[in-house]
Each structure stands twice: as structure tokens, then as C-alpha cells.
Chain A
């Protein structure tokens, strides 16, 4: 019996609705969880998970600043621990939604609640996690800065909760969770040299340190883990950062760096349209001559995970920025905005050009479980590997693309700042 069946206007709980959808679409996941349960029983010695290895951590955001910090470990599949870490490799290997969910649900999140900047009594005097290398949080930080999975032993406070929780679009869907009491390293983690450098420099601002790592070849996934663990930035400012926030922070910071790199670059000289499709998401990227301007427009089909009502309308969201970036918070599209922007800026920087850029994302009802914002980042990054179409004008390109969209051209023009009009500059009118 559900209340909403009796009370008009009461919406069913959204999370529950998504869970139902996810379950309906794939019984494989439930099977997978049962398999996990068996492996878990085997790995447990008393209440301690022995011989475990943790490739990464997950910092939650509930009840901030007292947040759960979790060690993620693939129970029973330790030798393949690397494959459980979200990265561009997942895209390269064409992971389908099921593959992603199997990785996620095969990863036990053993978490302990802690304060973001004062996990111990001593650190309350000068709130910062800078010196915290002991205890559960210390072990988590070691795991986060290491460049390969770290062997650990985790003391659990109870049996794991296996409930499938698809999480949200930005955060990652989580698998089984357990409360942890303690954790110990059973090996010395390997920390790459540039990370040691950002770790040791205690008055290097976080943004500069993140950019440094990016320039030294670290991808945003790795930088994200390091930021999350409070292992860079000015020492007094170092704190644990919820994974969801740190993903956006890294995409934004690296994006700003790249935007600066193309600020004085010449413009591309033709209109190009790129396309890509991955896990039920379709992308069109229209690049046009001019100074930097960017917009992401999302269209989510009825019945897709973020728009569960199958008889509803296409749900639209958009956010944009001009030459100098945004000064206000992105109210719509959230983390997807920065993830897609990063992909576009990487391409423009690689060709040494600037452009006006409209990214259109269509989420079809094949996207039945959110796999995480990496999917957007990688789809946009890789869209530029393919061929592109050319068009005479920006609006001509948008009109052509809109014939393939689930919304009308008129509707797109209302929602999209760029489709409505592209910012010209005074030099086009004789300013010297």
C-alpha cells in the first residue's frame, strides 16, 4: 500500500522511483549483489575484512561537516582492483550501464563519519586535515593520494547494507555499504612525485596545485581523489571535500586554466558540428567562429532516469557563460556543465583556437541508471575524435541539428542563450 495511491498530488519518493526503475531494467544487478554477499562472507574474519585492497575513497556529503568517509574495496576481486576506479578507461573499453553498475555494486564502501577539518581531538585547535595520517581518515587519505590500490585491513561495525542505491548524476551510484570502526594499511602506499610536491607545499593554493597536477599529466579523476582527501592547498585550509563537490571543483578549476590558455588564441574559422553517443546519451557539439562563449543544454526524455514519468514532457535545462566566464553559480545542469566544458576546452586548447560552443545533450530512456558525470566528460572529450560536419553559419548548424532533437527549434531557442543569439563583438562593427 502506498500513500500516494490514496492522496491526490502526493508524489512517490523520487529515489524510490529510480530504484524501482533500475531494478526493473536489470535483474543482473540483483544477481550481482547476491554474488557479492557470498564473496563478502568468505573475506570476513570475525568482524575484520582481511586481505582487502582499496583503490579509492568516497567522501559523502550528508550531514556536512560531519560526513562519511569511505574506503572502497572490491571484495573478492582484489587483483582487478584498478578496474573499479572510475576513469576515462571505462569509456575507452565501452562499458555499458550494466558494466558500470557491476563495478560500483562490487565495491564495498566501508565508511566512518568524521568532521571535514577536525577528525581528531588534537586537530580541533587548528582545524585542518593537513597532518592527519593516522586512524581511519589517515588511511583514507593515503589511499586517495596513492597511484595504485593500497592493501588494507578494515574493521567493520556490522554487516553491509546491500541496497542498490543509484545515487545521483554527479555522485557515483554506490554499492554495498558497511560501517567501519578502523582501518590499517598493510603496505606502504606508492605516492607519485608531483603529488608529494603538492602535499609538501603548505602555502600553495588549491587551484594552483590542481592545475599543476593536471599539467603534469594527471587526469581529473586522480586530482579529484587528492582534493577530496584534503591533500593539497594551503595547509590551514586543507579539509575533506565530498566527492561530488570535488569533481565539480576540479572540472571547474582545470576548465578555467584551459580557458585562460585560449583567451588570446585565434578563433576557429568555420562552423563544425561534432556528434557522439554513449550509454543512452547523445551529444551534439556546435563550434562556431568568435570569442569564447559556452552553453550546455540538456534534454531528458520522459522515462529516463532523471525524468521518470514516461508520459511527461522532455525536461530541459541549460547554463551558459561568456568570454569572461560565469560569476554566478550554475543553477541548472550542475556538474554536467563543468564536465562537458572541460572536454570542449581540452579540444580547443589542443588546436590552439577559441570558439563559440553549444553542447546539446539528449538523454534517452535507454539511460536507465545514472553512471556518473564521467560519462558526460568522456563522451564530450571523445566526440572530437570523430569526423565533423561543417555548416555555413552557427544558426544554420543549430537548425539542422534541431531536426534530430526531441524538442522543436523554437523550443530550443527559448531555452538556449546561444540558439537565441550569439554574442557579437564591437570589432565586427569597426572597433579598432
Chain B
């Protein structure tokens, strides 16, 4: 059983943050909200998303599992006008999702969840450094790095106490330092890792500019990126494997 009404904006934000990594996903329809966990085919990036029942106008579910084609569902959600609502209802018999937007009815064929890749268990990583900053600072860093290179180094200078972004291209370099005065919070720890901009650019697209974003970093270790959306009732965690420089 699943029946819900949600603002198109909230639904789109949730779907967009997952579709940067995968084309299809499983949605767990829990009693207290829905959750999605997915890893990209290359095993480089993963996303863990939850959207609380409180983020919906109305929400009823009893622990079902559905498989969806994300771009289809995103396209449908895109049909709503700004501020519009999307009504979702699962037909258990036909295994189809009935969607209503302003009188528009759309019946979406679902994908057998068993045919979608097994969801990963999140690795338990002990990441020594943590940086809290605004989404727009991530956007600025990624955009500037992309002008010169295909990868970006993120790290923490423990001595001088700042978070830095480095990108080295054929000829040009980008360097950005953010100190505790510009950051919301900084937990010092040894951290320096290189990441593919292909992935970070996609993740960045999903991060709202005004969101408070937490980065957890280590030395040649994956980065964890946490942020909230839908007034804090939705949470996303990305994890991205580094490009290894040393061996």
C-alpha cells in the first residue's frame, strides 16, 4: 500500500540527487518515509537518500518496494507547475504507479526490483576531517576547477587551519582556501584526496546552493557529502571513491 501527495519540487529534488548516479533505482516505501540507496555501475559513487513522511502533504505506506526508471519519473514530475502537487498511488494488482498532476493522469509501469542491482551496504569509514560549508561554495569550487582540469583535490591544512580546493591543468591552476571565518565549521584532521570532476559536477548539480553541506574527508579516502533538502526533511549522503595518486 502506498499513497502520497508531495510537492513537485520536493519530489524532483529527491529524484535528481539519485539520477546523477543511476538510471534505475529501488524505492523503499517505509511507514515513516521513503528511502533510496544506489551505487553507480562503476562502483565509484553511491547515494543514500531518505525523505521523511513529514516532507509530504500526505503519506501512507506499509513497507513496500518498487523499482522505477528515474528519468521517466523525473519527466512526469517536471509536468507540474511551480508549487504544484504530485499525487502518487501504487496499484498492487497491476504493479503500476498512478500519478496525478493537476488533472493529468499518468500510469507509470514499474521495474521489477529484483532486476535492479543489489543495494550496497554503506562502508563504515572513519574519516578524520570534516568541513561544513554552504552549497554555493561547493558550486564555486567545482566550477572553477572544471575550467582547468578533470579532477580536483580536496584537503585540510591542519597547521594553517583551512580547507582547500586544488585543480591542476595542462597549464593553468586553480586554488581556493576557505578558513574558519568563511566556513560554517571545520574539524581538523589529516585530509587530502583527489576526485573525478565528472562525478563531483553531477553531485554538485543536485546540491541546493543554500544548503548546509558537510564534507567528511581523509587521506586518499572516499569523501562523504551530506546535505538536507525539503526544509531538512530530506537527507542525502553521497560517497565518492578517490583517484589514487600514490600507488
Contacts and interface: CB of A to CB of B under 8 A. Distances in A.
Contacts of B43: 291, 425-427, 431
Interface in B75-107: none
Given A395-B246, A417-B150, A421-B243, A431 B170 contact: no
B151 A417 contact: yes
Given A322-B196, A322-B198, A324-B41, A425 B244 contact: no
Interface residues of B, number: 32
Given A394-B247, A395-B245, A429 B41 contact: no
Interface string A385-407: 00000001111100000000000
Contacts of A323: 41-42, 44
Interface string A360-386: 000000000000000000000000000
A424 B246 CA distance: 12
B121 A431 contact: yes
A414 B44 contact: no
Interface string B226-247: 0000000000000101111111
Contacts of B210: none
B148 to A, nearest CB: 10
Contacts of B243: 420-424
Contacts of B247: 392-396
Contacts of B168: 413-414, 420
A424 B121 CA distance: 18
B51 to A, nearest CB: 23
Contact of A426 (B194, B239, B246): B239
Nearest to B150: A417
A157 interface: no
B123 A425 contact: no
A13 interface: no
B124 interface: yes
B221 interface: yes
A9 interface: no
Interface string A201-220: 00000000000000000000
Contacts of A312: none
Given A395-B247, A428-B241, A430-B124, A423 B44 contact: yes
Nearest to A394: B247
A432 interface: yes
A316 interface: yes
Contacts of B245: 395, 420-421
B123 A429 contact: yes
Given A395-B245, A421-B244, A424-B241, A430 B170 contact: no
A180 to B, nearest CB: 46
Contacts of A427: 43
A417 B151 CA distance: 8
A415 interface: yes
A413 B246 CA distance: 12
A415 B196 CA distance: 15
Nearest to B172: A414
B170 A426 contact: no
Contact of A431 (B39, B151, B246): B39
Contacts of A429: 123, 125, 221-222, 241
B244 A426 contact: no
Interface in B36-70: 39, 41-46
A422 B245 CA distance: 7
Contacts of A394: 247
A305 to B, nearest CB: 22
Nearest to A417: B150
Nearest to B240: A426
16 contacts: A392-B247, A413-B168, A417-B150, A420-B194, A420-B243, A421-B243, A421-B244, A422-B243, A423-B196, A424-B241, A426-B46, A426-B222, A427-B43, A431-B121, A431-B122, A432-B120
Interface of B: 39, 41-46, 120-125, 150-151, 168-171, 194, 196, 198, 221-222, 239, 241-247
